[in-house]
């Protein structure tokens, strides 16, 4: 299954980025083979609506599950409409996050975890 | 004529200068464009005669016509539209009401519906010694982020036969630009502190870009340091007035009373300032 982890770097050893919309990288990985592609987030410095754009972006890439720290209301609404499961509260490395997810230790959220503009540094 | 009052830094005395200037001259109209936190009415105590609700057009999508082509999403500069599977999501709070999505939709599936963002109130000054002062302000609804369309609604009341005094919001971002553009002159109010000077310099950059002539009023002028004076001298920027940190002024302010009411000589200072501005002495 194709899952996406928000990351601060471009490898499996990078730390999970706690922000969704304005994370630095999206690691798009196959949860079984661990084959992955790291994509720099084009919406990192977006003027506004970064969560919506990032939701649209990973939806267009065929992602089914996203592992991250927090999501805001607009991002959650977008991901929900796209049928993407959202797992929040992730920390540690990207690899650890994938392992946790595979062991079934975590479950998806049914709502946003932070307010709008949480990750915009304002 | 349009004279705007801006500052860069907040809390320097924009509203104090705007209201006292408006109360000192004939045939004035004050327009409080600080629509997120308007407060000129506290000094002016206007009698409100009219309240007008202000709306922006936001897209509504006809699901029977939409074929999810994505054109609307592509042309939206504000990321207010997302298209996922067979769903088109509109985030109305991000919409600036520009109308691009409606214009470009090949399916004609978008209709614009009005969303209320706030209101304007129009009235006149009720203070005993001045009767012909017109008053306009805007109040943005709670939770709305879009100040510029409401500021435009306030500025629609600019009168070609009056002296229009615009009380701008602090800062240097879109709401400030919307408030001060098209002004004939801008008064920048600052205080002589490192913080006042830092933000004054940012505001000066904006005014130079907009090519609006300007001068500086130093409020609480006997506090802080002389760096602001030095800066203005080096840059050839006129210092229009100095308002000292006086107990009478602070005490009147704390009760919502304009300076010109407790210290009538200030009415002469503001009249003289207006005369010099309208003569183009600082342009």
Residue of B73, B80, B89 lying closest to A77 (CB–CB):
B89
Within a domain: A8: yes
Residue of B78, B87, B94 lying closest to A81 (CB–CB):
B87
Residue whose C-alpha is closest to residue B141's, from B115, B171, B176: B115
Within a domain: A49: yes
The pair of structure tokens assigned to A102 is 């595979």
Residue B109, pLDDT score: 96
* B contact set with A (CB within 8 A): 73, 78-80, 82-85, 87, 89, 91, 94
Residue B22: CB partners within 8 Å, gap ≥ 6? B28, B29, B30, B44, B125, B133, B165
Average pLDDT of the residues in A4-11: 96
Residue A60: CB partners within 8 Å, gap ≥ 6? none
pLDDT at A57 over 90: yes
Q: Which domains does chain B have, with CATH numbers?
A: 2-45+126-278 (3.40.50.300), 56-116 (3.30.70.20)
Average pLDDT of the residues in A19-42: 94
CA distance A87 to chain B (A): 19
Contact across the interface for A49 and B91, Cβ inside 8 Å: yes
Cβ burial of B231 (10 Å; 0-12, 13-18, 19+) is: middle
CA distance B111 to chain A (A): 22
- pTM of the shown model: 0.81
Within a domain: A102: yes
Residue A122, pLDDT score: 53
Chain A residues whose beta carbon lies within 8 Å of the beta carbon of residue B96: none
CA distance B189 to B197: 10
Residue A114, pLDDT score: 84
Q: What are phi and psi of B238, to 5 degrees?
A: -70, 135
Tens of pLDDT, residue by residue, chain B (283 residues)? 999 999 999 999 999 999 999 999 999 999 999 999 999 999 999 999 999 999 999 999 999 999 999 999 999 999 999 998 888 999 998 898 899 999 999 999 999 999 999 999 999 987 655 668 999 999 999 988 889 999 999 999 999 999 999 999 999 999 999 999 999 999 999 999 999 999 999 999 999 999 999 999 999 999 999 999 999 999 999 999 999 999 999 999 999 999 999 999 999 999 999 999 999 999 8
CA distance B8 to chain A (A): 18
Interface test with A, best of B76, B82, B90 (most A CBs within 10 A): B82
Within a domain: A12: yes
User: Any CB–CB contact under 8 A between A104 and chain B?
Assistant: no
CA distance A14 to chain B (A): 29
Chain A residues whose beta carbon lies within 8 Å of the beta carbon of residue B85: 59, 81-83
CA A29 to chain CA centroid, Å, is 12
The pair of structure tokens assigned to A117 is 């503009």
Residue B13, pLDDT score: 96
What strands lie across the sheet with A25-30, from one edge to the other? Answer: A36-40, A25-30, A2-7, A65-67, A85-87
Question: What confidence tens digit (pLDDT) does each residue in A82-98 have?
Answer: 999 999 999 999 999 99
Q: Of A13-17, A46-50, A75-79, B31-35, which range is least confident? A: A46-50
Interface test with A, best of B74, B76, B79 (most A CBs within 10 A): B79
CA A120 to chain CA centroid, Å, is 15
Within a domain: A122: no
Residue B229: CB partners within 8 Å, gap ≥ 6? B192, B218, B239
Within a domain: A105: yes
Host domain of residue A38: 2-117
Contact across the interface for B82 and A50, Cβ inside 8 Å: no
- Total count of domains within chain A: 1
Chain A residues whose beta carbon lies within 8 Å of the beta carbon of residue B73: 56
Residue where the block lists tokens 């050839």: B236
Residue whose C-alpha is closest to residue B235's, from B279, B204, B266, B258: B204
The domain spanning residue A91 has which CATH number? 3.30.420.130
User: Any CB–CB contact under 8 A between A77 and chain B?
Assistant: yes
Chain B residues whose beta carbon lies within 8 Å of the beta carbon of residue A52: 79-80, 82, 89, 91, 94
CA distance A82 to chain B (A): 5
Within a domain: A99: yes
Within a domain: A40: yes
């Amino acid at each position: 299954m194709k899952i996406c982890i928000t990351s601060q770097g471009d490898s499996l050893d990078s730390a999970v980025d706690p922000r969704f919309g304005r994370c630095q990288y999206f690691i798009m990985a196959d949860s079984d083979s661990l084959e992955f592609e790291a994509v720099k987030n084009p919406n990192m410095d977006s003027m506004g609506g970064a969560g919506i754009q990032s939701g649209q972006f990973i939806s267009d890439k065929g992602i089914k599950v996203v592992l991250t720290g927090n999501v805001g209301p607009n991002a959650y609404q977008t991901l929900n409409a796209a049928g993407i499961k959202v797992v929040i509260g992730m920390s540690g490395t990207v690899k650890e996050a994938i392992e946790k997810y595979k062991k079934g230790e975590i479950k998806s959220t049914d709502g946003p975890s932070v307010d709008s503009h949480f990750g915009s540094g304002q | 004529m349009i004279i705007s009052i801006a500052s860069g830094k907040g809390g320097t005395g924009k509203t104090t200068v705007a209201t006292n200037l408006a109360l000192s001259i004939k045939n004035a109209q004050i327009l409080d464009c600080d629509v997120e936190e308007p407060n000129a009415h506290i000094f002016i105590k206007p009698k409100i005669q009219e309240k007008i609700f202000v709306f922006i057009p936001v897209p509504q999508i006809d699901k029977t016509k939409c074929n999810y082509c994505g054109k609307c999403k592509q042309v939206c500069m504000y990321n207010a539209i997302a298209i996922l599977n067979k769903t088109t999501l509109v985030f109305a709070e991000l919409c600036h009401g520009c109308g691009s999505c409606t214009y470009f939709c090949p399916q004609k599936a978008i209709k614009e519906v009005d969303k209320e963002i706030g209101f304007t109130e129009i009235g006149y000054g009720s203070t005993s010694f001045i009767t012909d002062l017109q008053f306009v302000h805007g109040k943005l609804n709670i939770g709305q982020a879009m100040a510029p369309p409401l500021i435009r609604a306030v500025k629609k009341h600019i009168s070609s036969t009056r002296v229009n005094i615009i009380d701008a919001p602090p800062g240097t971002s879109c709401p400030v630009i919307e408030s001060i553009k098209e002004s004939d002159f801008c008064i920048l109010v600052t205080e002589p502190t490192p913080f006042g000077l830092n933000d004054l310099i940012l505001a000066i950059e904006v005014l130079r870009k907009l090519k609006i002539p300007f001068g500086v009023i130093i409020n609480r002028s006997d506090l802080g340091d002389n760096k602001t004076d030095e800066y203005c001298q080096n840059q050839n920027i006129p210092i229009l007035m100095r308002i000292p940190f006086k107990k009478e002024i602070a005490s009147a302010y704390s009760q919502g009373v304009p300076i010109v009411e407790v210290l009538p000589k200030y009415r002469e200072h503001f009249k003289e300032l207006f005369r010099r501005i309208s003569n183009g002495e600082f342009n």
